[in-house]
Chain A
Amino acid sequence: MRIKLAAIPLAVTLPLSLAACSGSSADDASSDDAIQVGFLAPAPRNDGGFTQYALAGVEKAVEAGGMELTSIVDNAAESQEQIEGLQTLAANNDIVVADGAVLNKAVAVVAPKYPDTHFILVASDLEEYAENVSSVTVAVGLDALVAGAVASMRSESKKIGMIAGPEVPSSTAWYYGMKQGAAIENPQTEVFQAYTNDYNDVGKAKQAAEAMIANGADQLLSDLDSGSEGIYQAAGAAEGIEVYNVFALHCDENPNIVGSGVVSWSDVLESTVTEAAADELPAGAISFGLKSGALSFQFCEGKASEEEIALVEDITGRISDGSITPEEGVLLPRPSYDFEQR
């Protein structure tokens, strides 16, 4: 007992004295000439999707611009860990890419402490403007607009649908976009929406798809990850059902796939990192749209008719030149500060 009580002051003083003796080994930014880039993601770096594509874009920019990608911190799922990771990266790099919407708060905490580091926050906006943060998002609703028009044209029943995971703005944007696009092609087309609350639940996705098919829909857009398999199964079990993917082309996954509202995160990251390295990337929010080329509607090979290709070009053009104005819900809510639509 006495030994133990004696250990308590020791236990208190030891860490405190450790904390007091300062040694600043990690706080200097790079002494190299090459611009240094750090990358942090909440997901694994080889997730086969969002993170992997973004990282590929960063790597392209780094290679072309003679920069150095010093460290990759992935699997940072917990806020505290994200903050620590961002801090260490910020202390040692000129540019830090925070690749994930959940990082918005962590970036807001860390960025003010490292004014000389340029943060690129991917897929989300900050709540408040920060001078050294550029947040990049993609206007998926514009892609959805084109997809909606195409689906409406291909639909025999003039009923089309969209199935997504959770009902959040980035998902509902696909619905509103499709709705507007379909209305442009044919005002009679009906658009359905369904949310499974889980990007990867095959069973729920299948149920949702079957319900839509039972209601007459013959064109289904899947805003899901592995849950898409459920939609393929439902489509395979019925006649004449066609499926659209998002973000990337997955034509070899199923013969019923027509095309995809492609979002090239790789392109987005490549151009933003390159601009940031040249000190040309403005702070504030940047939304990438069809004009930038990072977003595009693409068909699987041999699926499209001339007429449909022309439709895609026409709508894309009209959105880019401003003659089609996105309706409410198609674009994500804009932040109150500097905003640029590309």
Chain B
Amino acid sequence: MTPPSAAALRALGLRLLTQLAVALVTLLMAALILLAIGVSPTVAADAFWAGTFGSPTNAGTTLTQAVPLFLVALGWIVTDKAGRLQVGFPGQVVIGGCAAAAVGLQCENVPAPLAVMLCAAAGMLGGALWAGIVAWLWASRGVLEIVSSLLLNLVAIQVLAWLVRGPLQGSLDQQPQSADFPESTRWPAFPSVPGLTLSYDVLLMPVLAVGLIVVLSRTSFGFSLRASGGNVTAARWQGIDPVRTGVRAIALSGAFAGLAGAALLFAGSAPWLSEGFEAGIGFNGIAVALLARNSPVGAMFTAVVFASLNVGGTSLQSLLDVPSTLTSVLQGAVIVLVLVAAAVAVRRRSTTPPEPAPAPAEPSGRVTAAAGQGA
């Protein structure tokens, strides 16, 4: 491989700069909002740090919470590379979680490693099947995947509401919650972190990031997927079946989201199924991927950023009595700013000359990005 050229480095630098600017503007907005409600930003920063990374326990919580966000981001990246616009992650997380919970609750007497694997597999299967409905509607009926996936989110939430009140309901006074999952099904945590808050599933982040990059760049499935996403007509004319590829991509994406659902339930400190367990990660995961410019490795960092926003927000509330709505405002601001940054980047790209003009050597930074790994 050729060493990165000056142009590639400049592109990378520009990209990092944009992301830094997004972070700065967000911080500025946060400071302004805090000042407006009469809380000193420095004190708030202390509380935020204490709640997110200030202690091993809290850092563990933050990292563990980043995992589901990251998994959803991978799901988004897969469908994005395949050129499909699938936004059914909330539903797939919910159904994946329900499937994992249904299996987990039956795993009382199953030995721990097997039980953990079973729950994870059930989650992935649940998410993949739920996404499979979207894929089937698209492939056989031509229903736009964005529409069907959005609508299925609503259905999934109702399914969950029914499950926690009906078949899976298991709390003493009939609250909409399941019984606690058996000990053997819970995902183990690093014993060195006090409070056992750092689940081993954080290891999934680097493993799956590398795995996805390898699958996309080194397998014929990944190649077909990128080809279909790059130019669906050309793919068809070259003998690649874009429908088949799209269906597989959507199902894989659903499997990632379903695994996220299982991780939410079995890796956290709340080992039971409750109505709101999805907690918005289905859509936040998309923002995580967008902020990382659809790079699996970048998504590891942005997922941690989003998780710390979540955890830090709770900590700001409980330490400084900052209203809970502030964190939501902040997260919304980040998403909007990401979109603005993305729009700026797109405009810059379109002002540089497009293809057929005899474009002289414009080396590689871009090539790899286009080849599907992002940066």
In-complex A–B contact (CB below 8 Å): yes
**Which residues of A line the B interface, CB within 8 A?**
1-5, 7-9, 11-12, 15, 18-27, 38, 40, 70-85, 88-89, 92, 101-102, 104-106, 109, 113, 124-127, 166, 168-170, 332-333, 335
| B-side contacts of A85, CB under 8 Å | 314, 317-318
Closest to B47 in A: A26
| A-side contacts of B269, CB under 8 Å | 80, 83, 109
A115 to chain B, nearest CB (A): 14
In the bound complex, what is the Cα–Cα distance between A1 and B365 (angstroms)? 9
Supposing A12-B206, A166-B165 touch, asked if A80 and B270 sit within 8 A by C-beta, the answer is yes
A23–B318 touching, CB < 8 Å = no
Nearest first, the 8 closest Cβ-Cβ pairs linking A and B are A79-B270, A88-B318, A19-B59, A78-B279, A75-B324, A26-B50, A168-B174, A25-B50
A88–B314 touching, CB < 8 Å = yes
| A-side contacts of B213, CB under 8 Å | 4-5
Supposing A4-B375, A78-B277, A84-B314 touch, asked if A169 and B174 sit within 8 A by C-beta, the answer is yes
In the bound complex, what is the Cα–Cα distance between A76 and B174 (angstroms)? 20
B300–A11 touching, CB < 8 Å = yes
In the bound complex, what is the Cα–Cα distance between A27 and B54 (angstroms)? 10
Question: What 4 new A-B contacts, CB under 8 Å, besides A75-B325, A81-B279?
Answer: A15-B63, A24-B55, A102-B177, A332-B173
Q: Does B138 sit within 8 A of A, measured CB to CB?
A: no
In the bound complex, what is the Cα–Cα distance between A105 and B213 (angstroms)? 40
Supposing A1-B373, A127-B172 touch, asked if A73 and B317 sit within 8 A by C-beta, the answer is yes
In the bound complex, what is the Cα–Cα distance between A70 and B213 (angstroms)? 48
Closest to A96 in B: B318
Supposing A26-B55, A26-B319, A78-B276 touch, asked if A4 and B174 sit within 8 A by C-beta, the answer is no
User: What would 29 A/B residue contacts be, using CB atoms closer than 8 Å?
Assistant: A4-B297, A4-B374, A8-B210, A8-B300, A9-B206, A15-B202, A24-B55, A38-B318, A40-B318, A73-B317, A76-B314, A80-B65, A80-B264, A83-B268, A85-B317, A85-B318, A88-B51, A88-B314, A88-B315, A88-B319, A102-B175, A104-B171, A124-B173, A124-B175, A125-B173, A127-B172, A168-B173, A169-B174, A335-B172
Supposing A73-B318, A92-B319 touch, asked if A84 and B173 sit within 8 A by C-beta, the answer is no
| A-side contacts of B108, CB under 8 Å | none
B173–A170 touching, CB < 8 Å = yes
Interface size on B, residues (CB 8 A): 67
Beta-carbon contacts of B287-318 to A below 8 Å, as 1s and 0s?
A: 00000000101001100100000110011011
B173–A76 touching, CB < 8 Å = no
| A-side contacts of B295, CB under 8 Å | 4
In the bound complex, what is the Cα–Cα distance between A104 and B175 (angstroms)? 9
B180–A105 touching, CB < 8 Å = yes
| A-side contacts of B47, CB under 8 Å | 26
Closest to B12 in A: A3
**Which residues of B line the A interface, CB within 8 A?**
1, 4, 12, 46-47, 49-51, 53-56, 58-61, 63, 65, 165, 171-177, 180, 193, 195, 198, 202, 205-206, 209-210, 213, 217, 264, 268-270, 272, 274, 276-277, 279, 295, 297, 300-301, 304, 310-311, 314-315, 317-321, 323-325, 368, 373-375
In the bound complex, what is the Cα–Cα distance between A84 and B55 (angstroms)? 14
Supposing A38-B318, A71-B319, A80-B269 touch, asked if A2 and B274 sit within 8 A by C-beta, the answer is no
| B-side contacts of A12, CB under 8 Å | 205-206
| B-side contacts of A25, CB under 8 Å | 46, 49-50, 54-55
Closest to B310 in A: A81
| B-side contacts of A15, CB under 8 Å | 59, 63, 202, 304
A3–B270 touching, CB < 8 Å = no
Which residue in B12, B50, B173, B321 is a CB contact (below 8 Å) of A169?
Answer: B173
Closest to B300 in A: A11
